């Protein structure tokens, strides 16, 4: 009699355990971000955005508890690789996410392939990243998306001669090349191509070259965090007074720094995926909630990349019903679309890259603060570099 | 390219104000203070808070930055640095790098990781043309202020009693002590002044160099270059070195942007091979 | 050119110093044990081993010859890119061979730059060595067609070790490889510093003028040890490139040289183990702190460093020595001698 009760209890416990175990097993996400070093502001924004999302949506999805493990890679790619390896091997994460700069995202790609772990790129912007592993999906942007749109706009608005100034690394090369290709095809002329070193950005000599080249506008791309320094020197050189317009992808007027850049950037026209002034209800809520969490700091495009990245993971997990292996998640992510604070976005099923609206906006003073005010929209822009390869 | 020359001179003089405190500390106390950049950063952030948040006029913010950093210097000197004077250079390196890490993280925590900008008054913005050469107003101010400071320093060194006590202590501390000079007090005062100047330089430099919590780590190398190339036994040495390096850096980046800071490092190596003690040192091997 | 020691008494003392003590054997046995005891930590231990070798190279010039350098990363990065390029363009597929070539190339670079560190004070040497590292960094950036520039050297694929052991994701092969290389070069270094050459180095460090008066070629010794140390640093860099299959510009950076100097100072200079000990302490501490506070770990590390200096490294060394004296065997005799 006792034996039967015992057997029954054990059996019940086993069932409960088995069923319960499958439901209770937490899903771990390894969030590898630059929390110290040159790109620390990117890391902070993404971390805050992820935390905000989880605060708003809870941490249980499809019966599983979501656990985010945050690691600092210090903007050094070999750290990224080691941290990714440790997260996969020791912590058994199902997803690795973050990646503040292109080399970090590329360094983790072979690991994603070997371990069949989904890699969500929330910040890096070079076109080839998603080609490096079939398990990579991106929710940030590619430089080419913004650069070709601004090239189109510039050609249509009377700008004939442009000097380009970009930081000397892969995203910068992407930006410059895609801009040049589109702009010259539309009849414009690139009179000077200047590259500034990524690590020690001193813009005054480069700006001087742009002045000497007598152009109508200067096309600028610098990574998030350096836009402010650039804007200051742009103003100091008097380029705005000399009539040389400032154009480029919106990284240079990043909302994170925009309000402190001073009035010299008023009138700068950029093309980008996100503005804190985007007039949608979703965005208003997002900005308000983010400011509340971060003591009044405005979210920039890096924050929205993080917000959408964690959203993608949540939705994919719901779609797979709790299955978190790489193949299931990536299959679920392909083609997924939703309304982000930046506007409608989707994940391209062919390239796993992001398809989003690109807005043309001008820096204006609204309510005493500087904002990028959108005045034109280009819908569902795919990454042009990969699209051209087809 | 006279504008480049002008830019280089402004940059160089800014470097000088930032680094001269380090030169004197090194020459006087033989103390490798790699945390010097932290005082510059402190001055920059104090000026930022004062001008942007408290509405203090910009030109008043500069002496406030000076005082704040000087006070910080005295405080740290009396509490921490005094215990480390007698230790080996390696210990000093360890200590000062530890301080930098703490300063960087503390500022990151309190002020955030993003770059900050000071609201510069309108009369300092933009350029004006002088015989066809573009002169930046802000850079002109930098040159003016730094020039005044250099002149003042030279005056203090050569025409005041404190100056002669300082020079005596730098030459030979033991003999100076034997002559009744309170070398400890000279140290403290000099350290405070050096830190204060670094703070002033930091405040001035926000507009040109940018300010974020990683400032001390980014610019430490430049300060060390100025001090080594200029030698530590005078003011003129670091001054000339700063100007030289400022022009070399700016010109190098203009003419050969791909090589970046290559020019400044090469100049440094060449000078150090030719004159290992620095340009103006007086040949006492340490 | 062998210098035969005249006094047999001196010879016996020197040879006694060179004998393997208890702690040394225990250390290497423990290192061997980590392969089996901590399979989950192999990745970070690999980094410790590589940094230990790197710090050993610095110890050779700082602890034994008194040359203070903030530019060892020059050779580290050079070795890394050599190994990376050899693998990427499939010029040399066997990793060990590539390692040797990279080390040798770094040593040659060290030889050609050694004359720059011969003159000047401590500060001059610091800046010149730093300058060399930074110049190399700028050159690597300039020739980004070859090096990948700011994006780093991509697409490196390391062939299996000896054709059999694949460099797996878990880092097991990598760790055993790095540990074996570390041990080998450690033995080599040990032999060197306990040889007559090593003794003459110590004489040079103590008092160069006196050493030259006795007939030791100061410049020759310094050039020799600097070259050897450069080779060691190059090997360490190559190991990093091979185990992570990546090389980037920050391998030349000031931070890397400063980090390794910090580790060496932490562990102690002049007894060869300081580098590995310091690397172990620093890396494990950093990993632990970063796990607890990913954003502000630097603050706590800084606090630890400042505290160590304020308490005094000699005091800590004294405490450790007091503990060590409790262990019998040859150490006690060594103290008496």
Q: Which residues contact residue B170 at a Cβ distance below 8 angstroms, ignoring those fewer than 6 apart?
A: B24, B27, B28, B233
pLDDT at residue number A302? 93
Per-residue pLDDT tens for A31-60? Answer: 999 998 878 889 999 999 999 999 999 989
Distance CA C69, CA C91 (A): 32
Average pLDDT over residues B271-279: 80
**How many domains does chain C fold into?**
1
Residues A226 and A368 in one domain: yes
Residues A265 and A287 in one domain: no
**Considering the domain boundaries, does residue A6 fall inside one?**
no
Distance of CA A2 to the CA centre of its chain: 62
Cβ–Cβ < 8 Å for A200, B222? no
Question: Which chain C residue has the Cα nearest residue A116?
Answer: C169
Distance CA C217, CA C222 (A): 9
Question: Which chain B residue has the Cα nearest residue C114?
Answer: B273
Per-residue pLDDT tens for B243-260? Answer: 988 888 888 888 877 666
Per-residue pLDDT tens for B12-61? Answer: 999 999 998 888 888 777 788 889 999 999 999 999 999 988 888 888 98
**pLDDT-wise least confident of C199-208, C303-312, C319-328:** C319-328
pLDDT at residue number C233? 96
Residues A247 and A382 in one domain: yes
For the record, the structure tokens of A106 come out as: 């590329």
Name the residue among C68, C120, C309 with its Cβ closest to that of B84.
C309
Question: Which chain B residue has the Cα nearest residue A239?
Answer: B126
pLDDT at residue number C334? 47
> Any bridge partners for residue A364, and if so which?
A371
Q: Is A236–B207 a contact, with Cβ atoms under 8 angstroms apart?
A: yes
Burial pattern B180-217, b for ≥16 Cβ within 10 A else e, equals ebebeebbbbbbbbbbbbbbbbbbbbbbbbbbbbbbbb
Helix, coil or strand: residue B259: helix
Interface membership of C201 toward A (CB under 8 Å):
no
Q: Is A40–B4 a contact, with Cβ atoms under 8 angstroms apart?
A: no
Confidence category of residue C326, pLDDT binned at 50, 70, 90? low
Distance CA C78, CA C76 (A): 5
Distance CA A190, CA A188 (A): 7
Whole domain around residue C250: which residue ranges? 8-292
Q: Which residue has the tokens 């955030």?
A: B112
> Any bridge partners for residue A223, and if so which?
none
pLDDT at residue number A65? 92
Compare C62 and A240 and report the one with higher pLDDT: C62
Distance CA C125, CA B36 (A): 20
pLDDT at B283 over 70: no
Cβ–Cβ < 8 Å for A37, C253? no
Pairing of strands A337-340, A269-272: unpaired
Q: Give the up-direction half-sphere exposure of residue C168: CA atoms within 13 A in the CB hemisphere.
A: 11
**Residue A73 CB neighbour total at 10 angstroms:** 30
Residue A83, min C-alpha distance to chain C (Å): 9
Residues A137 and A190 in one domain: no
Average pLDDT over residues C150-154: 81
Per-residue pLDDT tens for A192-246? Answer: 898 887 766 678 788 888 878 878 899 999 887 788 788 888 877 778 777 888 8
Residues A203 and A249 in one domain: yes
Residue A195: which of A215, A229, A222, A159 has the closest Cα?
A: A222
**Considering the domain boundaries, does residue C222 fall inside one?**
yes
Residue A239, min C-alpha distance to chain B (Å): 9
Distance CA A177, CA C166 (A): 39
pLDDT at residue number A194? 87
**Considering the domain boundaries, does residue A201 fall inside one?**
yes
What CATH number did the domain enclosing A85 receive? Answer: 3.40.50.2300
**pLDDT-wise least confident of A261-265, A297-301, B6-10, C187-191:** A261-265
Test mutation, B228, B237, B248, B253, chain C, max C CBs within 10 A: B228
pLDDT at residue number A344? 93
**Considering the domain boundaries, does residue A310 fall inside one?**
yes
Per-residue pLDDT tens for A161-202? Answer: 999 999 888 889 899 999 999 999 998 999 889 888 776 667
What was the ipTM of the complex prediction? 0.85
Residue A311: which of A120, A172, A168, A92 has the closest Cα?
A: A120
Residues A214 and A123 in one domain: no
Average pLDDT over residues A375-379: 91
Test mutation, B34, B81, B94, B238, chain C, max C CBs within 10 A: B94
Distance CA C131, CA C252 (A): 11
Residue C116, min C-alpha distance to chain B (Å): 7
Pairing of strands A161-167, A217-221: parallel
Whole domain around residue A125: which residue ranges? 11-141+280-352
pLDDT at C325 over 80: no
Residues A132 and A148 in one domain: no
pLDDT at residue number C211? 85
Average pLDDT, chain A: 87
For the record, the structure tokens of C60 come out as: 């050779």
Per-residue pLDDT tens for C254-284? Answer: 888 988 998 998 888 888 888 999 999 999 9
Distance CA B23, CA C257 (A): 23
Q: Is A89–C43 a contact, with Cβ atoms under 8 angstroms apart?
A: yes
**Considering the domain boundaries, does residue A23 fall inside one?**
yes
Residues A156 and A265 in one domain: yes
Pairing of strands A64-72, A27-33: parallel
Burial pattern A188-199, b for ≥16 Cβ within 10 A else e, equals bebebbbbbbbb
Distance CA B230, CA B282 (A): 11
Phi, psi of A378 (to 5 degrees): -115, 120
Q: Which residues contact residue A247 at a Cβ distance below 8 angstroms, ignoring those fewer than 6 apart?
A: A150, A153, A154, A159, A162, A217, A218, A219, A220, A268, A269, A270
Cβ–Cβ < 8 Å for A171, A221? yes
- Say how many CB pairs under 8 Å bridge A and C: 76
What separation in angstroms does the CA of A86 have from each of A90, A115, C154, C287?
5, 12, 21, 12
Residue A160, min C-alpha distance to chain C (Å): 31
**How many domains does chain A fold into?**
2
Compare A370 and C122 and report the one with higher pLDDT: A370
Residue A317: which of A118, A139, A46, A87 has the closest Cα?
A: A118
Cβ-based contacts of A103 with chain C (< 8 Å): 150-152, 154, 246, 248
Residues A128 and A227 in one domain: no
Residues A182 and A331 in one domain: no
What CATH number did the domain enclosing C204 receive? Answer: 1.10.3470
- Termini Cα distance of chain C: 29
Confidence category of residue C3, pLDDT binned at 50, 70, 90? low
Residues A365 and A335 in one domain: no
Residue C259, min C-alpha distance to chain B (Å): 10
Residue B21: which of B78, B60, B72, B95 has the closest Cα?
A: B72
**Considering the domain boundaries, does residue C332 fall inside one?**
no
Backbone conformation region of residue A61, classed left if phi is above 0, alpha if psi is from -120 to 50, else beta = beta
For the record, the structure tokens of B161 come out as: 């009693």
Residues A253 and A374 in one domain: yes
pLDDT at residue number A55? 93
Q: Is C121–B286 a contact, with Cβ atoms under 8 angstroms apart?
A: yes
Name the residue among C124, C131, C265 with its Cβ closest to that of B94.
C265
Question: Which chain B residue has the Cα nearest residue A43?
Answer: B113
> Any bridge partners for residue B128, and if so which?
B135
């Amino acid at each position: 009699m006792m034996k039967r009760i015992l057997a029954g209890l054990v059996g019940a416990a086993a069932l409960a355990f088995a069923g319960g175990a499958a439901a209770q097993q937490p899903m771990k996400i390894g969030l590898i971000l630059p929390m110290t070093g040159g790109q620390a502001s990117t890391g902070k924004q993404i971390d805050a955005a992820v935390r905000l999302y989880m605060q708003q949506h809870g941490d249980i999805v499809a019966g599983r508890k979501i656990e985010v493990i945050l690691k600092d890679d210090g903007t050094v790619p070999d750290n990224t690789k080691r941290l990714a390896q440790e997260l996969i091997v020791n912590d058994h994460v199902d997803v690795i996410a973050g990646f503040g700069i292109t080399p970090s995202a590329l360094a983790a790609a072979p690991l994603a392939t070997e371990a069949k772990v989904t890699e969500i790129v929330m910040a890096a912007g070079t076109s080839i990243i998603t080609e490096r592993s079939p398990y990579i999906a991106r929710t940030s942007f590619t430089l080419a998306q913004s650069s070709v749109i601004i090239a189109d706009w510039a050609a249509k608005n009377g700008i004939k001669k442009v000097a380009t100034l970009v930081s000397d690394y892969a995203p910068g090369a992407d930006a410059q090349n895609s801009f040049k290709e589109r702009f010259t095809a539309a009849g414009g002329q690139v009179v000077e191509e200047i590259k500034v070193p990524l690590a020690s950005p001193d813009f005054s000599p480069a700006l001087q070259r742009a002045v000497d080249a007598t152009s109508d506008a200067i096309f600028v791309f610098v990574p998030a965090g350096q836009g402010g320094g650039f804007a200051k020197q742009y103003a100091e050189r008097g380029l705005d007074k000399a009539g040389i317009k400032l154009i480029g992808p919106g990284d240079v007027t990043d909302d994170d720094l925009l309000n402190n850049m001073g009035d010299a950037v008023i009138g700068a026209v950029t093309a980008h995926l996100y503005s804190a002034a985007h007039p949608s209800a979703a965005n208003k809520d997002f900005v308000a909630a983010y400011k509340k969490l971060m003591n009044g700091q405005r979210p920039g495009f890096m924050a929205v990349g993080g917000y959408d990245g964690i959203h993608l993971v949540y939705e994919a997990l719901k779609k797979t019903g709790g299955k978190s292996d790489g193949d299931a998640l990536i299959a679920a992510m392909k083609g997924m679309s939703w309304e982000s604070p930046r506007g409608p976005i989707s994940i391209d099923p062919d390239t796993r890259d992001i398809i989003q609206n690109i807005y043309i906006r001008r820096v204006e003073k609204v309510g005493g603060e500087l904002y990028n005010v959108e005045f034109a929209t280009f819908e569902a822009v795919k990454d042009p570099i990969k699209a051209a390869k087809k | 390219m006279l504008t480049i020359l002008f830019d280089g001179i402004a940059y160089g003089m800014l470097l000088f104000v930032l680094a001269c405190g380090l030169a004197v500390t090194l020459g006087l106390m033989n103390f490798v203070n790699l945390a010097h950049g932290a005082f510059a950063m402190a001055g920059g952030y104090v000026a930022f808070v004062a001008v942007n948040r408290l509405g203090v006029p910009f030109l008043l913010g500069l002496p406030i930055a000076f005082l704040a950093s000087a006070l910080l210097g005295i405080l740290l000197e009396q509490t921490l640095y005094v215990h480390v004077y007698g230790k080996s250079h390696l210990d000093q390196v360890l200590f000062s790098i530890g301080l930098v890490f703490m300063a960087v993280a503390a500022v990151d925590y309190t002020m955030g990781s993003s770059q900050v900008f000071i609201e510069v008054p309108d009369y300092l913005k933009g350029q004006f043309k002088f015989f066809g050469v573009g002169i930046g107003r802000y850079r002109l101010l930098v040159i003016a202020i730094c020039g005044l400071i250099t002149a003042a320093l030279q005056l203090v060194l050569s025409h005041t009693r404190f100056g002669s006590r300082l020079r005596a202590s730098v030459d030979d501390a033991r003999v100076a002590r034997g002559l009744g000079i309170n070398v400890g007090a000279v140290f403290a005062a000099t350290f405070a002044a050096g830190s204060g100047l670094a703070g002033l330089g930091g405040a001035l430099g926000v507009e040109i160099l940018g300010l974020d919590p990683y400032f001390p780590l980014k610019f430490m190398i430049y300060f060390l270059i100025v001090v080594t190339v200029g030698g530590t036994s005078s003011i003129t040495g670091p001054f000339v070195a700063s100007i030289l390096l400022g022009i070399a850096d700016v010109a190098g980046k203009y003419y050969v942007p791909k090589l970046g800071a290559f020019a400044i490092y090469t100049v440094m190596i060449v000078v150090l091979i030719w004159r290992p003690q620095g340009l103006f040192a007086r040949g006492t091997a340490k | 050119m062998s210098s035969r020691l005249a006094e047999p008494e001196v010879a016996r003392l020197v040879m006694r110093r060179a004998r393997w003590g208890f702690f040394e054997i225990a250390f290497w046995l423990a290192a061997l044990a980590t392969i089996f005891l901590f399979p989950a930590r192999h990745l970070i231990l690999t980094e410790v081993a590589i940094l230990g070798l790197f710090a050993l190279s610095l110890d050779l010039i700082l602890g034994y010859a008194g040359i203070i350098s903030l530019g060892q990363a020059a050779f580290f990065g050079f070795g890394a890119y050599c190994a990376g390029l050899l693998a990427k363009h499939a010029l040399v597929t066997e990793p060990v061979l590539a390692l040797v070539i990279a080390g040798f190339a770094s040593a040659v670079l060290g030889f050609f730059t050694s004359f720059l560190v011969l003159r000047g004070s401590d500060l001059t040497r610091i800046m010149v060595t730093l300058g060399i590292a930074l110049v190399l960094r700028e050159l690597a950036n300039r020739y980004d067609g070859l090096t990948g520039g700011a994006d780093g050297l991509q697409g490196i694929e390391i062939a299996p070790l000896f054709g059999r052991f694949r460099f797996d994701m878990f880092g097991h092969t990598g760790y055993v490889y790095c540990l074996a290389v570390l041990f080998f070069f450690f033995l080599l270094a040990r032999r060197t510093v306990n040889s007559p050459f090593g003794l003459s180095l110590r004489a040079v460090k103590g008092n160069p003028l006196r050493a030259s008066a006795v007939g030791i070629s100061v410049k020759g010794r310094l050039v020799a040890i600097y070259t050897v140390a450069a080779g060691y640093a190059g090997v360490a860099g190559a190991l990093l490139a091979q185990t992570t299959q990546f090389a980037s510009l920050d391998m030349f950076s000031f931070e890397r040289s400063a980090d390794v100097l910090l580790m060496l100072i932490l562990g102690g200079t002049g007894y060869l183990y300081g580098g590995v000990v310091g690397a172990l302490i620093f890396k494990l501490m950093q990993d632990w702190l970063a796990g607890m506070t990913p954003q502000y770990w630097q603050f706590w590390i800084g606090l630890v460093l400042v505290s160590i200096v304020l308490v005094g490294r000699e005091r800590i060394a004294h405490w450790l020595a007091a503990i060590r004296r409790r262990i019998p065997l040859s150490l006690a005799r060594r103290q008496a001698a």
